[in-house]
Amino acid sequence: MADTDARVKLDILSDPICPWCYIGKTHLDKALAAIPDHPFVIEWHPFQLNPDMPAGGMDRRAYLEGKFGGKEGAVRAYTPVVQNAEAAGLSIDFEGMKVTPNTIDAHRLIHWAGIEGKQGDVVDALFNAYFVEARDIGDHDVLADIADSVGMDASVVRKLLASDADAQRIRDRDAHSRQMGVNSVPTFIVANQHAVPGAQPPDLWEKVIREIMAGLEQENA
């Protein structure tokens, strides 16, 4: 008889402006929906794609062309993103995005949401706000609105955002991940042991989940 209470930690390192993270979460969600009795307990961890981004963010076009060596380089870099997003059933409003934000405040919101057991909801809301609604998720008003939408106290969140609360904690956690060898996101860490990098397809996640569940059954037979 398997231990139905067995739980396996799934740590996810992500940045809410990372399109591959959005695609990767969508794939994972499909697998989790297919196996609703999965053993995963999920926690999200901060990783900033652009830790040196100015606090107010910067013009998205200038950012992309600077990062990828001009307009053609940016188009080449984002072609597989667009293709994979469409294949995952996602509609991303790249044209509507005007700002690439600094995400430390978004990561602070994810951290506070975790304390309230609302982390998954906030991560979903951040991805939707940025990629679907093309909102600036570095803006405190947007973040407070997201907090309110998942049942957090927006006034408390707004006060926290106006302070330096947990900012250094986020930077330290980000630095720790880099020291452990993480250099890209999404990165999924299963049971504190196995790193699964990148936006893996749902069938791979279903295979991983079924193997874990079979192992748990053997352990508790």
Q: Tens digits of per-residue pLDDT, 118-127?
A: 999 999 999 9
Q: What is the mean pLDDT of residues 29-52?
A: 97
The confidence score (pLDDT) of residue 6 equals: 82
Question: Is the residue at 91 inside a domain?
Answer: no
Question: Is the residue at 3 inside a domain?
Answer: no
Distance, in Å, from the CA atom of 205 to the CA atom of 92, rounded to the nearest integer, reads 23
Question: Is the residue at 58 inside a domain?
Answer: no
Q: What is the mean pLDDT of residues 195-201?
A: 97
Specify the CATH number for the domain of residue 113. 3.40.30.10
Residue 35 has pLDDT above 60, yes or no: yes
Structural domain boundaries enclosing 113:
8-51+102-219
Question: Is the residue at 122 inside a domain?
Answer: yes
Distance, in Å, from the CA atom of 145 to the CA atom of 143, rounded to the nearest integer, reads 5
Number of domains in the chain: 1
Residue 173 has pLDDT above 60, yes or no: yes
Joined tokens for residue 74: 């940016």
Question: Is the residue at 2 inside a domain?
Answer: no
Asked if the peptide bond before residue 186 counts as cis, ω within 30 degrees of 0, the response is yes
Q: pTM for the full model? A: 0.95
Residue 3 has pLDDT above 80, yes or no: no
- Give 13's strand partners: 45, 187
Distance, in Å, from the CA atom of 94 to the CA atom of 74, rounded to the nearest integer, reads 12
Q: What is the mean pLDDT of residues 209-218?
A: 95
Burial class (CB in 10 A: 0-12, 13-18, 19+), 112: buried
Question: Is the residue at 157 inside a domain?
Answer: yes
Question: Is the residue at 174 inside a domain?
Answer: yes
Residue 5 has pLDDT above 90, yes or no: no
Q: Tens digits of per-residue pLDDT, 142-165?
A: 999 999 999 999 999 999 999 999
